[in-house]
Amino acid sequence: MTAQSRHVRSLLTADAVHDSALGSIRRLTAEEFPILHRMSIKRLVLEPGSIREPHWHANANELTYCISGSLLVTVFDNADEFSSFTIDAGQMFHVDSGALHHIENIGETTAELIVVFGHERPEDFSLRGAFGAMTDAVLGNTYDLPASAWAQVPRDTSSPLLVKREGAASVPDTAGWANRHKFDVEGQLAPLKAAVGSAHLARQQYWPALKNLSMYSLRIEEEGMREPHWHPETAEMGYVHAGKARMSILDPDGTVDTYLLGPGDVYFIPRAYPHQIEVVGDEEIHFLVFFDRPTPGDIGYRASGSVFSREVLAASFGIPESQLPVLPFTPIDPLIVGKANPIDPVE
């Protein structure tokens, strides 16, 4: 088992982009996690009254899962499409690249969010920085005001990232309405449910707003395992919310990378790399599994055994057909399977 894997990093101990009394931002991009491609991840913590200032991402869509807290999100997509909506634990929101948005803690407790971007090196602009790039005269002309109206407004092109609200939050009466940017993934009746686990699916089939990202909220009990599989056209990036697991990945050079995962860890699997997940502790695991396509594909080992004849399989393994186990016919992969055998020793 590898002590240091190129496939894994801890998001909880990643370098802080921001850390103050208002909250914190820790992220993993290709700078800190070189294997990342088409995806990166951020952990955003907001204290009550704190705001992730209005901003946008120049080269990446955003997909966010709320672990805790109550938040107000505002999204300005273009000149005539604007909305504000509330988000609570277990809910998600999606923002297109270039869309102006803010995230505001309107509750009385700390809010925690896991934010994934559709690029390994996302680029950000802040509304404050954008205003700082323009002169007093240009802004005055924009708003039909004299240039002097802007003279007392501090401006530069940097971004504080997190700011503090004065007074109570202004929450529109319609903020609780359904919104195309919002999806209650944990409120969904799990499309995939087995005796030893389940998966709630935030993908385009259920959430049409998604374009190049999706997410599975995966729970597996102690007696369960995510069968070995690969995603033909989809990279996978997972965040461990709870529990302990062991993962194995086959790299193209024939090496097998096996490692343990715990809360706060992030793993990344390039497209079509075979891998599996098994519980090694005595508690259920909860993974937030993100993909770089709106509808991820999947090929499992179990169904693979039903595709080819026994003669082909025996020849591939280099054994007589009589030594080949009798494999159950499986037209549809179960994804989550039970563990009938003792777990391999954990090193």
* pLDDT reported for residue 58: 97
Q: What does the pLDDT look like over 114-135, one tens digit per residue?
A: 999 999 999 999 999 999 999 9
Mean pLDDT within 247-267: 97
Amino acid at 258: T
pTM reported for the whole predicted model = 0.96
Neighbouring residues of 41: CB distance < 8 A, sequence distance ≥ 6: 11, 27, 28, 114, 115, 116, 117, 237, 239, 266, 290
* pLDDT reported for residue 281: 86
Is residue 2 very low, low, confident or very high in pLDDT (cuts 50, 70, 90)? very low
Q: What does the pLDDT look like over 292-340, one tens digit per residue?
A: 999 999 999 999 999 999 999 999 999 999 999 999 999 988 999 999 9
CATH of segment(s) 192-338: 2.60.120.10
Q: What are phi and psi of 34, to 5 degrees?
A: -60, -25
| Structure tokens that stand for 96 in this block | 């297109």
Q: Given this chain, do its domains 8-183 and 192-338 carry the same CATH topology?
A: yes
Measured distance CA(26)–CA(62) in Å, rounded: 16
Measured distance CA(176)–CA(303) in Å, rounded: 43
Ordered DSSP codes for 26-88: EEE-TTTSTT--S-EEEEEEE-TTEEEEEEEESS--EEEEEEESEEEEEEEEETTEEEEEEEE
Residue 153 pLDDT exceeds 70: yes
Measured distance CA(339)–CA(222) in Å, rounded: 9
How many helices (H) and strands (E) the chain has is answered by 4, 26
Residue with tokens 């695991």: 285
Measured distance CA(51)–CA(41) in Å, rounded: 19
Residue with tokens 């005539």: 80
CATH class for the domain made up of 8-183: mainly beta
Q: What does the pLDDT look like over 9-32, one tens digit per residue?
A: 999 999 999 999 999 999 999 999
Confirm if 95 and 42 have CB atoms less than 8 A apart: no
Report the candidate in 161, 51, 183, 44 with the shortest Cα–Cα distance to residue 106. 51
Q: What does the pLDDT look like over 27-77, one tens digit per residue?
A: 999 999 999 999 999 999 999 999 999 999 999 999 999 999 999 999 999
Confirm if 234 and 292 have CB atoms less than 8 A apart: yes
Paired with 164 in beta bridges are 50
Measured distance CA(35)–CA(273) in Å, rounded: 13
Q: What does the pLDDT look like over 186-209, one tens digit per residue?
A: 999 999 999 999 999 999 999 999
Q: Where are the domains of the chain?
A: 8-183, 192-338
Mean pLDDT within 201-228: 96
Please tell me whether residue 311 adopts helix, strand or coil conformation: helix
Measured distance CA(147)–CA(149) in Å, rounded: 5
* pLDDT reported for residue 33: 97
